Structure 1
Amino acid sequence: MDTDLTFSSRRSPVVCLHGCVASNQPLASNVGLDILKHGGNAADAAVAIAAALAVTEPCSTGPGGDAFCLFYDANTGEIRGINGSGRSPRAQTLDFLKGRGYTAEAPPSPFDAVYVTVPGAPACWCDAIQLFGSHKLSLQEVLRGAVELAEVGFPVGEVAAHHWANWVAALRDAGKELGGDLLIDGHTPRCGQVFRNPALAQTLKELGERGKPAFYQGRVAQAIIDVINRNGGVMTLDDLSSHDSEVITPISTEFKGVRLWEPPPNSQGLAALLLLNILDSFPLKVEFGQIFWI
């Protein structure tokens, strides 16, 4: 956490009988808990929380980003996964980047539109519900909590307000401007200030009603292409409409008697497993989720 953010929290571990959810935002966690109370399972709740976080912490990630999914089926013991990351535009080749004057030594600005890949999260949400969900709740019902947060508004948390302001400042320093939908009167919301995002509410509502085509075709897709192309990117409607998630076989390693699973590359899960394999060579004692040197 940033040293200039004066915020601390100490909580006891959550112990319960009938199921629990966890996220870094209480409002999003409440949305996931409501899904479980209405008969949904872990996959339903995870998608509901991801969508709610897209509303309450837009400075992190959301429908414009990527997602990975790991799902453990308690009935069969099977672990499956989804790679919900998107590809670069087809036209964005090495020759194209060289033609723009970019090299390994002189890359584009971190905020350049050429870094934008096809958003994979919405497709991953839809596929997670279809493949792993309880099928007791529709996608529309799963996304309803996030839609309500965006429509009615929510009080912005302290951590979110801090990072929100920092990223807007970084964008402006780079000569970029954040869309007005994520500002209040041209400014980032303060801690405790109620923020509404009706445009995102409409997008999530359409995603719930029509599934993947609502995002990767039509109004939303065209809006994505328009803003990317205005800023020098080369993504096309075909890049979006041809996107789909990939069902993957997770990879794993054993550490101190516990088997841990991760999505395979292109996720960074392999790095986490390699680090555990390295740590396994050291004299460590694992107790109550903490690691101690011996």
Structure 2
Amino acid sequence: MRPARDVARSFLRQGLIAIALAAFCLSPAAAESQPPIISQGARFLPVVAGHGMASAQEGAAAEIGVDVLRRGGNAVDSAVAVALALAVTFPRAGNLGGGGFMLIYLAHENKTLVIDYREMAPADTPSNVFLNEAGEADPAKSRDTGLAVGVPGTVAGLCLALRKYGSGKFSLAELAAPAIALARGGVLVEEDLADSLPLAQQRLRRWPSSARIFLRSDGSPLARGDRLVQRDLASVIEAIGARGESAFYEGPVAEKIVASVRAAGGRMTLEDLKSYRAIEREPLRGSYRGHEIVSVPPPSSGGVHVIELLNILEGFPLAEQGANSAASIHLEAEAMKSVYADRAAYLGDPDQVEVPLKGLLSKAHAARLRQEIPLSRARRPDEVKPLDPAPYESDQTTHFSIVDAAGDAVANTTTLNFSYGLGLVADGAGFLLNNELDDFAAKPGAPNAFGLVGGAANAPAPRKRPLSSMAPTMLFHGGELELVTGSPGGSRIITIVAGLILDLVDFGMNLAEATAAPRVHHQWLPAQLEVERGVSPDTIRLLEALGHNVAVRGAWGSAQSVARANGMLLGAADARSRGARAAGY
């Protein structure tokens, strides 16, 4: 278990010396999904603990999760409390009105499983729902109206997880209590909340129900030092705590959701809500240089393509080429192009389309894709074609990672899609609604808000779950858990998670270094290699000489990770968003 063990030994040997993190400034293009980093010269200090740990994008939620662990709860108990708290303290991505994926590891059973609580299209969703009269994609329909809202899955997913895999020591009401108190008493506007509200001001001011909560009477956003009070949200969480998911999917709350969605032009019905179910699925498994990778299956593309990307790169001597060298970035970028081309061609909701998972995850398919990569030049998009993997077989997000004293773990990624989702609060219910159905391919080749293209496999359809890039992931070695990780970042989630694994396994970084290291991303279309500031100008010039169209960007993503080795837990909260915290005991 080399990487995790090295993390522990490195931190102990160095006396927990903090790793300096370069200051980043966000590009305007990514501002919708992540606020700018303000703290210059931020210091990044990983946390070491012996019993339990939670790493989340917002500090109060992480502390709530650790308190549950300290009081004898397991990782799933903690995850439910953290998720409900994030709906209050991190409203741009934490949610009741969105969805996501939870990867659970039960150490005593040596079992991993996935709870898919991805949003679902209403029953009245024709394939041309996001096209205009000329038959062209109309982005406003899929991003700015009630047609964009998928049936929320978060509440169903949390209730299913607690019912089947909680410790039994805590009721849902007890786990909801901290979130209720925060919503009713108010949370101080600071750090990420203060950064993100001005960026979402125009989206929120469109809807009176949202403006009443997040904006001042003059229409300006709540600012640093103000208090965000969410009484309606407190009442809804209290009802969920008392009656479970039926309090959300039926009765007054469901009626408020439907009324708000339909008033915004959507087609959701009470039956759509009543019939929603979270689904338990088998996780995907792969391997990379002796480490087992476990991640989430479709309707997320995240796990498929993290594994596929690493399969391709396993055949190259990356360690010899060095971290962030032109040679290693070139190979990563070319492998990423192939992976995203496959994503566009083959991925969709497995309950409605056939996805060739066995082929996409195979080492043989990766070897064929590897042979297509030229070592001396960058390929144009039209040179990258999805290869038939095998016969078919019968953005803004937030992530948290938790490990408990027994070794059980949760990696959970949840989303509203855009920062603050549609921007629409369900009137009288206090929570924001998603605009997740933009993740469908409105028509073949039409890009979504993150520039991703898709085909018929991800076309809109009744009660279909749109394709996602979320990738909560765990790494094992010798049968022992060594890493729990994941990140927000829209289409970049796949490359963030895979890049973290590369930095740990190939380049020998410890968890802090891997989290802070500059990131690279290529998604085939558009024809652009994105690199974070921190990649050297010399490296960029070499990449351009190979034919890459390099765009230097500010920070993206916010990986939240926990590593486990030799009885020690090591948490790294990504400082790319202010207020992230790893906490343990």
Normalising by structure 2, report the TM-score. Answer: 0.47
Identify the residue that residue 270 of structure 1 maps to in structure 2.
Answer: 304
Aligned positions of 1:3-14 closer than 5 A: 4-8=36-40, 9-14=42-47
Query: Which residue of 2 is the match for residue 183 of structure 1?
Result: 215
Call closer, same or farther: CA 1:102–1:63 in 2, change over 3 Å: farther
List per-residue Cα deviations over 1:170-219 (Å, max 9, x = no partner): 455xx556342333434322123221111111111100100010000011
Paired with 1:182 and 1:101, the residues of 2 have a C-alpha distance of 36
**C-alpha distance after superposition, 1:224-267 (max 9, x if no partner):** 00011001100000000000100000002112322121110111
Letter in 1 for 2:245: K
Following superposition of structure 1 onto structure 2, how do residues 1-294 of structure 1 map, counting pairs within 5 Å? 2=26, 4-8=36-40, 9-97=42-130, 101=133, 103-109=135-141, 110-170=143-203, 172=205, 178-185=210-217, 186-267=219-300, 268-282=302-316, 283-284=318-319, 285-287=506-508, 288-289=510-511
1:166, distance to aligned residue in structure 2 (A) = 0.6
Q: 1:105 Cα shift?
A: 3.6
Q: Is the CA contact (8 Å cut-off) linking 1:82 and 1:246 kept in structure 2?
A: yes
Amino acid corresponding to residue 26 of structure 2 in structure 1:
D
Partners of 2:236 and 2:253 within 8 A in 1: yes
Letter in 1 for 2:78: A
CA contact (8 A) 1:66 1:86 kept: yes
Cα displacement string for residues 254-284 of structure 1 (whole angstroms, at most 9, x for unaligned residues): 1232212111011132222222223323323
1:96 is displaced (CA, Å) by 5.0
Contact 1:56–1:156 (CA under 8 A) maintained in structure 2: no
**Worse overlay, 233-242 or 54-63:** 54-63
- 5+ unaligned residues in a row in structure 1: which ranges? none
The alpha-carbon distance between structure 1 residues 102 and 125, as it changes in their structure 2 partners (threshold 3 A), is farther
Write the distance in 1 (CA, Å) between the matches of 2:216 and 2:235.
18
How far residue 143 of structure 1 moved from its aligned partner, in angstroms, is 1.1
Q: Identify the residue that residue 358 of structure 2 maps to in structure 1.
A: none
What CA distance in whole angstroms lies between the structure 1 residues aligned with 2:314 and 2:109? 29
Distance in 2, matches of 1:170 and 1:115, equals: 14
For the structure 1 residues 255 and 219, does the alpha-carbon distance in structure 2 shift closer, same or farther, using more than 3 Å as the test?
same
Q: Say which is worse superposed, 232-241 or 278-287, in terms of deviation.
A: 278-287
Change (3 A) 1:104 1:128: farther
More helix, by proportion:
1
For residues 133-170 of structure 1, give each alpha carbon's deviation from its aligned partner in whole angstroms, at most 9, with x where no partner exists.
11100011111111111011121232222212212224
Structure 2: segments with no counterpart, 5+ residues: 1-24, 28-35, 320-505, 518-585
2:573: which partner in 1? none
TM-score (structure 1 length as normaliser)? 0.91
Cα separation, 2, equivalents of 1:206 and 1:23: 25
- Looking at structure 1, the residues matched to 311 and 201 of structure 2 have their Cα atoms a distance apart, in angstroms, of 39
Identity %: 31
Paired residues in the alignment total: 289
Greater RCO, 1 or 2 (C-alpha within 8 Å, sep 6+): 2
- 1:97 Cα shift? 4.8
SS class of match (2:292): strand
8 Å contact from structure 1 (residues 182, 188) kept in 2: yes
Which amino acid in 1 is paired with 2:185?
Answer: V
RMSD: 2.1
Equivalent position amino acid for 1:286 in 2 = F
Given that residues 98 and 152 in structure 2 are in contact (C-alpha distance below 8 angstroms), is that contact kept between their aligned partners in structure 1? yes
CA distance in 2 between counterparts of 1:137 and 1:105 reads 47
Q: Which moved more, 1:12-21 or 1:268-277?
A: 268-277
Letter in 2 for 1:226: A
SS for the counterpart of 1:148 is: helix
Larger radius of gyration: 2
Query: Which deviations, in whole Å up to 9, do the C-alpha atoms of 1:80-125 show, x marking residues without a partner?
Result: 1100012101012125555x63744434342121111000001101
Please report how far the alpha carbon of residue 46 of structure 1 lies from its aligned counterpart in structure 2 after TM superposition.
Answer: 1.1
CA distance in 2, matches of 1:17, 1:102: 61
Distance 2:76 2:240 in 1: 17
